[in-house]
Structure 1
């Protein structure tokens, strides 16, 4: 939420003036309305006149110049993040470095869909506070993430891909059988002969064909947040995605993608390959399966750029930047945390003093 009301440009399609006081309206999480943060006036977001569409990947690869997503564009002088928003931001939520105006050419794939925020700022603060409170020996600087300038509602770009696949595989099917083995054991100082059942595997060659339809294979399209943190924020309620409209970004920011669609499709195929291998093993059957080769043909490959919501913040500790992100739909928190040497030392000292006090009491006061 903006700290001060800044009158919008009446000609900007990305800024929405309040009809009552002239301040900027902001999208209200979990609703289909924009609300004025100063006078409380509301305006309904128009119903979408179209459905979310999938685009042939050739269209994505063409990178036709996109309509600007938000009124102002910035680039971080620290991590290089390209951020868009309808207010004048000062610092980067991903590394705390200063932001400057971004005048680079805007030739990117336009977003097709947006997953709107449902977790408002206060709920995000509460989730972050609970997470921070559960981190033992966390430094006090972690609490500063909740400050308005450090903790911002931000849409992260993702690619989604659909495809039909047909895969020819070769492998081996393992079937268990049992044999009786004789062995010698020592019992009461004597050697005795015993038998036991031992499982063996008999392998047979296998080959076949499997097919599958993939829908909305999700690929992170930014390197500004560690992939493992973004993956850990899943699942996303993709069924609630809506056709992109500027209104859903009002009062929020959006991160431009830096993972190109070709890279995104390559990662999507690696994700699909893991599912295809499981399909091959299921098709092989038996007790064990080994897949030695898979040849996959792809058809009807489509994709789109989707924006998903997070509350993002960063703080400095020990000369290093630490990131924290909160899922804007579920409140799930993922972040980095250092350990406070001072708190650890204090805890160790407290334990030593307690042990010493108990010893002295038992020795001299008991």
Structure 2
């Protein structure tokens, strides 16, 4: 694993003219095609990206990826995801509409580590084999009990111990400090559909640089090695199940690379003009972001409803005075009904702010 980016030639390494940039607001770092216009950071959308010195500010890994997972989400599904996100938000901010969200979409490749290693291990586990068992069940039908034969699939568990020595390749590990949050928001990426890196795959896409060292990510790669070993042991035993897999493993010859995964990023502005980022999975179309209702629009609606109620109350008072002077019971009844309706409207003016407060509170309580 090479860690020194000093003197690196990005065009020679990546096969494309790229420039390194950084967001000084959130400290996310990217590679962009040379000659790109000024761009807002696709993570926070709060500041334009500034240039970096490619000679020494690209740690921990300025080298091209081994694999790339291309953007495969078609335009129709992407549009549906954006529309679905903006739907069913009470008093949505004016800036939150599908057309603007789609217009602001940016393509971002986010990295993860791939690690190869030679593994030597002692293991023990229980492997399970399916078998069919016949049992009998009593059932009351008509006027008598009847016996039914029932076939059930059961599992026979057998212990296994052994030793393995073999290489494992392309075991994933996080290259970003926000990896767990990203997976909670968008779900997994299908590594089996990744292809070998070619410069043409970059296009006008932001390439997010890793911000987590391989040494720090190693502990999170270990479960992946163990899972692969357990699956191989199950297959070797020709079993259908495996459980309680335990091993004592030694690792040698670690080799680190990275792979890139596709994400669309966009945003909308809330009442205070603050950007609210929205992410879309570049394969599945799963979309995630904080959905905010507009207090300002709710307050405007409340003012209109309350104002109409107050106006109706004033009109009811005038109508009541006219009923008194004319001794008209019909006008008096109408005035009373208008007063009741006025109070209902004034009370109803509280509903829009309460609806918005409740909606935003639920959104704020979502797991990050």
TM-score by length of 2: 0.55
The change in CA–CA distance for 1:63 and 1:141 in structure 2 (over 3 A counts) is farther
Alignment of 1:302-341 (within 5 A): 302-317=255-270, 321-327=276-282, 331-337=283-289
Structure 1 match to 2:81:
131
* Partner SS, residue 41 of structure 2: coil
What's the RMSD between the two structures over aligned residues? 4.5
* Greater radius of gyration (CA): 2
Q: Using the alignment, how far apart are the partners of 1:185 and 1:332 within structure 2?
A: 47
Structure 2 match to 1:144:
100
Q: Using the alignment, how far apart are the partners of 1:110 and 1:339 within structure 2?
A: 35
Selected match of 2:227 from 271, 274, 299 = 274
Structure 2 match to 1:75:
23
Contact 1:113 1:305 (C-alpha < 8 Å) held by counterparts: yes
1:89 paired with 2:42, answer no
CA apart distance, 1:316? 4.2
CA apart distance, 1:207? 0.9
Alignment of 1:186-197 (within 5 A): none
Contact 1:158 1:219 (C-alpha < 8 Å) held by counterparts: yes
* Partner SS, residue 301 of structure 1: strand
Structure 2 match to 1:208:
162
1:227 paired with 2:183, answer yes
Q: Using the alignment, how far apart are the partners of 1:221 and 1:281 within structure 2?
A: 30
Structure 1 match to 2:14:
none
1:260 paired with 2:209, answer no
CA apart distance, 1:96? 1.9
Contact 1:173 1:288 (C-alpha < 8 Å) held by counterparts: yes
Contact 2:126 2:244 (C-alpha < 8 Å) held by counterparts: yes
CA apart distance, 1:89? 3.2
What is the total number of aligned residue pairs between the two structures? 271
Alignment of 1:32-111 (within 5 A): 59-60=1-2, 62-65=3-6, 67=8, 69=10, 70-77=18-25, 79-85=26-32, 86=34, 87-99=36-48, 101=50, 106=57, 107-111=59-63
Contact 1:89 1:99 (C-alpha < 8 Å) held by counterparts: yes
Structure 1: unaligned runs, 5 residues or longer: 1-58, 346-366
The change in CA–CA distance for 1:108 and 1:290 in structure 2 (over 3 A counts) is closer
1:37-70 Cα distance to aligned partner (Å, 9 max, x none): xxxxxxxxxxxxxxxxxxxxxx34x444363753
The change in CA–CA distance for 1:72 and 1:208 in structure 2 (over 3 A counts) is closer
Q: Using the alignment, how far apart are the partners of 2:242 and 2:253 within structure 1?
A: 30
Q: Using the alignment, how far apart are the partners of 2:253 and 2:220 within structure 1?
A: 17
Q: Which has the higher contact order (CA 8 A, sep 6+)?
A: 1
The change in CA–CA distance for 1:285 and 1:141 in structure 2 (over 3 A counts) is same
